Amino acid sequence: MNLRLSTRLARSAVARSIVAFGAAGLLAVGSFSSVYAASPSAATAAAAGHRFCIPEWTAAVATPGIDKLRAAGDCEINRRFVTLDALTRLVNNSDALTADHKVDLRDVNSVNPASYAAERAGLTTLKASIDSDTTLVALRADVGKIAPDYRVYLLVVPKTHLVAASDATAKAIARFGPLSSELQNLINQAKADGKDVTAAQAALDDLKAKVAQAGTVNGPVAGSILPLSPSDWNNGTAKPLLTAARSSIHQARGLLLDARQDAHKVIVLLGS
Protein backbone atom coordinates (compact mmCIF):
# COMPACT_ATOMS: atom_id res chain seq x y z
CA MET A 1 0.00 0.00 0.00
CA ASN A 2 2.83 2.37 0.80
CA LEU A 3 4.49 1.69 -2.55
CA ARG A 4 1.32 2.37 -4.53
CA LEU A 5 0.74 5.51 -2.50
CA SER A 6 4.26 6.74 -3.20
CA THR A 7 3.92 6.20 -6.95
CA ARG A 8 0.78 8.23 -7.09
CA LEU A 9 2.04 10.98 -4.88
CA ALA A 10 5.17 11.52 -6.94
CA ARG A 11 3.02 13.24 -9.55
CA SER A 12 2.86 16.59 -7.77
CA ALA A 13 4.89 18.73 -5.41
CA VAL A 14 2.00 19.01 -2.99
CA ALA A 15 1.72 15.30 -2.94
CA ARG A 16 5.42 14.99 -2.18
CA SER A 17 5.09 17.14 0.89
CA ILE A 18 2.15 15.07 1.99
CA VAL A 19 4.20 11.90 1.63
CA ALA A 20 6.88 13.46 3.80
CA PHE A 21 4.31 14.33 6.41
CA GLY A 22 2.89 10.82 6.40
CA ALA A 23 6.33 9.24 6.53
CA ALA A 24 7.17 11.35 9.54
CA GLY A 25 4.01 10.10 11.10
CA LEU A 26 5.07 6.53 10.49
CA LEU A 27 8.44 7.26 12.05
CA ALA A 28 6.64 8.41 15.14
CA VAL A 29 5.63 4.82 15.87
CA GLY A 30 8.75 4.36 17.93
CA SER A 31 8.08 7.46 19.93
CA PHE A 32 4.63 6.28 20.75
CA SER A 33 5.79 2.86 21.78
CA SER A 34 8.30 4.48 24.13
CA VAL A 35 5.65 6.75 25.55
CA TYR A 36 3.34 3.91 26.34
CA ALA A 37 5.86 1.26 27.20
CA ALA A 38 6.19 2.38 30.80
CA SER A 39 2.52 2.02 31.59
CA PRO A 40 0.41 -0.98 30.58
CA SER A 41 -2.80 0.88 31.27
CA ALA A 42 -1.65 3.75 29.12
CA ALA A 43 -0.74 1.27 26.39
CA THR A 44 -4.29 -0.02 26.41
CA ALA A 45 -5.58 3.52 26.15
CA ALA A 46 -3.18 4.19 23.29
CA ALA A 47 -4.43 1.21 21.34
CA ALA A 48 -7.94 2.60 21.66
CA GLY A 49 -7.15 6.30 21.19
CA HIS A 50 -4.16 6.79 18.96
CA ARG A 51 -3.96 6.06 15.25
CA PHE A 52 -1.91 7.35 12.36
CA CYS A 53 -3.57 9.42 9.68
CA ILE A 54 -2.85 7.27 6.65
CA PRO A 55 -6.50 7.12 5.44
CA GLU A 56 -6.87 10.91 5.69
CA TRP A 57 -3.67 11.54 3.75
CA THR A 58 -4.59 8.93 1.18
CA ALA A 59 -7.95 10.64 0.64
CA ALA A 60 -6.32 14.10 0.47
CA VAL A 61 -3.97 12.87 -2.24
CA ALA A 62 -6.64 11.02 -4.19
CA THR A 63 -9.00 14.00 -4.32
CA PRO A 64 -7.10 17.18 -3.40
CA GLY A 65 -9.24 19.85 -1.80
CA ILE A 66 -9.86 21.87 1.31
CA ASP A 67 -12.06 19.33 3.09
CA LYS A 68 -9.68 16.41 2.63
CA LEU A 69 -6.60 18.43 3.63
CA ARG A 70 -8.45 19.84 6.64
CA ALA A 71 -9.37 16.33 7.71
CA ALA A 72 -5.73 15.28 7.45
CA GLY A 73 -4.60 18.31 9.46
CA ASP A 74 -7.21 17.73 12.14
CA CYS A 75 -6.17 14.09 12.37
CA GLU A 76 -2.51 15.05 12.83
CA ILE A 77 -3.40 17.49 15.58
CA ASN A 78 -5.66 15.00 17.29
CA ARG A 79 -2.99 12.32 17.39
CA ARG A 80 -0.67 14.85 19.02
CA PHE A 81 -3.36 15.49 21.61
CA VAL A 82 -3.46 11.76 22.26
CA THR A 83 0.31 11.71 22.69
CA LEU A 84 0.26 14.66 25.06
CA ASP A 85 -2.51 13.01 27.09
CA ALA A 86 -0.44 9.84 27.29
CA LEU A 87 2.62 11.80 28.38
CA THR A 88 0.54 13.51 31.05
CA ARG A 89 -0.60 10.14 32.42
CA LEU A 90 2.97 8.91 32.28
CA VAL A 91 4.27 11.88 34.22
CA ASN A 92 1.48 11.77 36.78
CA ASN A 93 2.19 8.11 37.51
CA SER A 94 5.96 8.33 37.36
CA ASP A 95 7.95 7.23 40.41
CA ALA A 96 11.16 8.57 38.94
CA LEU A 97 10.26 12.19 38.20
CA THR A 98 10.55 14.78 40.94
CA ALA A 99 7.51 16.86 41.80
CA ASP A 100 9.14 19.97 40.34
CA HIS A 101 9.96 18.29 37.05
CA LYS A 102 6.44 16.90 36.78
CA VAL A 103 5.18 20.47 36.92
CA ASP A 104 7.85 21.66 34.47
CA LEU A 105 6.90 19.01 31.94
CA ARG A 106 3.15 19.20 32.37
CA ASP A 107 2.06 22.73 33.20
CA VAL A 108 2.73 26.10 31.66
CA ASN A 109 5.81 27.49 33.40
CA SER A 110 8.82 29.71 32.90
CA VAL A 111 11.32 26.83 32.65
CA ASN A 112 9.93 24.68 29.87
CA PRO A 113 8.42 26.49 26.87
CA ALA A 114 7.26 23.18 25.39
CA SER A 115 5.19 21.93 28.32
CA TYR A 116 2.24 19.73 27.51
CA ALA A 117 -0.16 22.49 28.44
CA ALA A 118 1.61 25.02 26.22
CA GLU A 119 1.73 22.56 23.34
CA ARG A 120 -1.91 21.66 23.78
CA ALA A 121 -2.95 25.31 23.87
CA GLY A 122 -1.00 26.14 20.73
CA LEU A 123 -2.30 23.12 18.85
CA THR A 124 -5.85 23.98 19.90
CA THR A 125 -5.47 27.46 18.45
CA LEU A 126 -3.94 26.04 15.29
CA LYS A 127 -6.78 23.55 14.93
CA ALA A 128 -9.30 26.36 15.17
CA SER A 129 -7.44 28.19 12.43
CA ILE A 130 -7.33 25.07 10.25
CA ASP A 131 -11.03 24.52 10.75
CA SER A 132 -11.79 28.11 9.70
CA ASP A 133 -9.46 28.35 6.71
CA THR A 134 -11.35 29.01 3.49
CA THR A 135 -8.53 28.85 0.96
CA LEU A 136 -6.25 26.00 0.10
CA VAL A 137 -3.20 28.26 0.41
CA ALA A 138 -4.05 29.30 3.97
CA LEU A 139 -4.95 25.78 4.94
CA ARG A 140 -1.74 24.40 3.49
CA ALA A 141 0.24 26.96 5.49
CA ASP A 142 -1.53 26.06 8.74
CA VAL A 143 -1.18 22.32 8.21
CA GLY A 144 2.49 22.93 7.54
CA LYS A 145 2.87 24.38 11.06
CA ILE A 146 1.72 21.29 12.91
CA ALA A 147 5.11 19.61 13.04
CA PRO A 148 7.71 22.41 13.13
CA ASP A 149 5.89 24.75 15.52
CA TYR A 150 5.34 22.07 18.17
CA ARG A 151 7.86 19.24 17.66
CA VAL A 152 5.86 16.88 19.80
CA TYR A 153 7.71 13.77 18.63
CA LEU A 154 11.20 15.13 18.05
CA LEU A 155 11.42 17.26 21.18
CA VAL A 156 8.62 16.85 23.73
CA VAL A 157 8.61 13.05 23.89
CA PRO A 158 12.42 12.63 24.13
CA LYS A 159 12.64 15.47 26.63
CA THR A 160 10.12 13.74 28.87
CA HIS A 161 11.99 10.43 28.86
CA LEU A 162 15.38 12.06 29.35
CA VAL A 163 14.23 14.12 32.32
CA ALA A 164 12.65 11.00 33.82
CA ALA A 165 15.86 9.01 33.25
CA SER A 166 17.93 11.79 34.79
CA ASP A 167 15.67 11.91 37.84
CA ALA A 168 15.85 8.12 38.14
CA THR A 169 19.64 8.42 38.06
CA ALA A 170 19.55 11.02 40.81
CA LYS A 171 17.34 8.77 42.93
CA ALA A 172 19.69 5.83 42.42
CA ILE A 173 22.62 8.05 43.43
CA ALA A 174 20.76 9.03 46.59
CA ARG A 175 20.24 5.35 47.45
CA PHE A 176 23.96 4.82 47.52
CA GLY A 177 24.27 7.21 50.49
CA PRO A 178 22.84 4.95 53.22
CA LEU A 179 24.50 1.91 51.65
CA SER A 180 27.88 3.61 51.71
CA SER A 181 27.44 4.60 55.36
CA GLU A 182 26.47 1.08 56.36
CA LEU A 183 29.42 -0.41 54.52
CA GLN A 184 31.77 2.02 56.28
CA ASN A 185 30.28 0.98 59.64
CA LEU A 186 30.88 -2.67 58.82
CA ILE A 187 34.44 -1.97 57.75
CA ASN A 188 35.10 -0.09 60.98
CA GLN A 189 33.64 -2.96 62.97
CA ALA A 190 35.74 -5.51 61.13
CA LYS A 191 38.83 -3.40 61.64
CA ALA A 192 38.11 -3.20 65.36
CA ASP A 193 37.87 -6.99 65.39
CA GLY A 194 41.37 -7.19 63.98
CA LYS A 195 40.47 -8.07 60.41
CA ASP A 196 42.42 -6.87 57.39
CA VAL A 197 40.02 -4.42 55.72
CA THR A 198 42.39 -2.98 53.14
CA ALA A 199 40.59 -4.45 50.12
CA ALA A 200 37.13 -3.64 51.47
CA GLN A 201 38.08 -0.03 52.21
CA ALA A 202 39.58 0.35 48.74
CA ALA A 203 36.37 -0.95 47.14
CA LEU A 204 34.26 1.40 49.24
CA ASP A 205 36.46 4.36 48.35
CA ASP A 206 36.06 3.48 44.68
CA LEU A 207 32.29 3.24 45.17
CA LYS A 208 32.17 6.71 46.69
CA ALA A 209 34.27 8.18 43.88
CA LYS A 210 32.12 6.64 41.17
CA VAL A 211 28.86 7.73 42.76
CA ALA A 212 30.20 11.27 43.10
CA GLN A 213 31.28 11.24 39.46
CA ALA A 214 27.86 9.97 38.40
CA GLY A 215 26.30 12.87 40.27
CA THR A 216 28.56 15.34 38.51
CA VAL A 217 27.72 13.87 35.10
CA ASN A 218 23.99 13.63 35.69
CA GLY A 219 23.51 16.87 37.60
CA PRO A 220 23.12 19.32 34.70
CA VAL A 221 21.08 17.03 32.41
CA ALA A 222 17.53 18.06 33.27
CA GLY A 223 18.44 21.73 33.43
CA SER A 224 20.02 21.59 29.99
CA ILE A 225 17.05 20.12 28.16
CA LEU A 226 13.97 21.44 29.94
CA PRO A 227 14.34 24.96 28.44
CA LEU A 228 14.50 23.62 24.86
CA SER A 229 11.76 24.88 22.55
CA PRO A 230 10.55 23.76 19.13
CA SER A 231 12.48 26.63 17.57
CA ASP A 232 15.63 25.30 19.25
CA TRP A 233 15.06 22.09 17.36
CA ASN A 234 14.44 23.92 14.10
CA ASN A 235 17.65 25.97 14.39
CA GLY A 236 19.75 22.92 15.26
CA THR A 237 20.38 23.70 18.93
CA ALA A 238 18.22 21.08 20.56
CA LYS A 239 19.33 17.88 18.88
CA PRO A 240 22.98 17.98 20.10
CA LEU A 241 21.81 18.80 23.61
CA LEU A 242 19.36 15.92 23.64
CA THR A 243 22.08 13.61 22.34
CA ALA A 244 24.54 14.83 24.97
CA ALA A 245 21.95 14.42 27.71
CA ARG A 246 21.33 10.82 26.72
CA SER A 247 25.05 10.15 26.60
CA SER A 248 25.53 11.64 30.07
CA ILE A 249 22.81 9.46 31.54
CA HIS A 250 24.36 6.37 29.96
CA GLN A 251 27.72 7.36 31.42
CA ALA A 252 26.22 7.93 34.88
CA ARG A 253 24.46 4.61 34.68
CA GLY A 254 27.74 2.86 33.88
CA LEU A 255 29.41 4.50 36.87
CA LEU A 256 26.57 3.44 39.15
CA LEU A 257 26.75 -0.13 37.92
CA ASP A 258 30.47 -0.15 38.76
CA ALA A 259 29.71 1.33 42.17
CA ARG A 260 27.13 -1.38 42.71
CA GLN A 261 29.78 -4.01 42.01
CA ASP A 262 32.05 -2.32 44.55
CA ALA A 263 29.31 -2.52 47.17
CA HIS A 264 28.80 -6.19 46.45
CA LYS A 265 32.54 -6.78 46.76
CA VAL A 266 32.66 -5.10 50.18
CA ILE A 267 29.77 -7.22 51.43
CA VAL A 268 31.43 -10.40 50.20
CA LEU A 269 34.77 -9.46 51.76
CA LEU A 270 33.25 -8.63 55.13
CA GLY A 271 30.92 -11.60 55.18
CA SER A 272 33.67 -14.16 54.55
Partner 1 sequence: MSVRSLPRSAALMGLALLGLAVTVAACTGAGHPTAAKAAVAPGVPNPGADASASAAPSVDWVDLLSPEPSPATTPAQSQGPTTPPTTPAATPVPTDPTSVAISTTKASSLLSQVDHMLSELNGELSNADAAANNPGE
* Interaction site with partner 1 (CB under 8 A): 21, 24-25, 27-31, 33-35, 37-38, 95-96, 146-148, 151-154, 157-158, 161-162, 164-165, 167-169, 171-172, 175-176, 178-179, 182-183, 186, 189-190, 193-195, 242-243, 246, 249-250, 253, 256-257, 260, 263-264, 266-267, 270-272
CB of 63 to partner 1, least distance (A): 25
Q: State the minimum distance, in angstroms, from the CB of residue 101 to partner 1.
A: 12
Nearest to 154 by CA among 243, 82, 70, 77: 243
Nearer to partner 1, 137 or 178 (CB): 178
Residue with smaller CB distance to partner 1, 4 or 40: 40
Name the residue among 243, 206, 210, 227 with its Cα closest to residue 109.
Answer: 227
Q: Which is nearer to partner 1, 67 or 205 (CB)?
A: 205
Q: Indicate the residue among 94 and 115 with the shorter CB distance to partner 1.
A: 94
DSSP string of 10-74, one letter each residue: TTSHHHHHHHHHHHHHHHTHHHHHHHHHT-HHHHHHHHHH----HHHHHHHHHS-SHHHHHHHHH
Rank residues 61 and 200 by Cβ distance to partner 1 and give the closer one.
200
Can you tell me the distance from the alpha carbon of 158 to that of 155, in angstroms, rounded to the nearest whole number?
6
CA-CA distances (angstroms) from residue 147 to 24, 62, 105, 153, 224? 9, 23, 19, 8, 23
Cα radius of gyration rounded to whole Å, the chain? 25
C-alpha distance from residue 58 to each of 21, 36, 121, 140, 255 (Å): 12, 27, 28, 16, 49
Closer by beta carbon to partner 1, 70 or else 161: 161
User: Minimum CB separation from partner 1 for residue 19, in Å?
Assistant: 13
Minimum CB–partner distance for residue 171 and partner 1 (Å): 5
Tell me how far, at minimum, the Cβ of 95 lies from partner 1, in Å. Answer: 7
* Residues contacting 198, CB < 8 A, separation 6+: none
Report in angstroms how near the CB of residue 134 gets to partner 1 at its nearest.
26
Return the exposure string of 201-211: e unless at least 16 CB atoms fall within 10 Å of the residue's CB, then b.
bebbebbbebb
Alpha carbons within 13 angstroms on the beta-carbon side of residue 185 total 6
Nearest approach, Cβ of residue 271 and partner 1 (Å): 4
Q: Which is nearer to partner 1, 8 or 239 (CB)?
A: 239
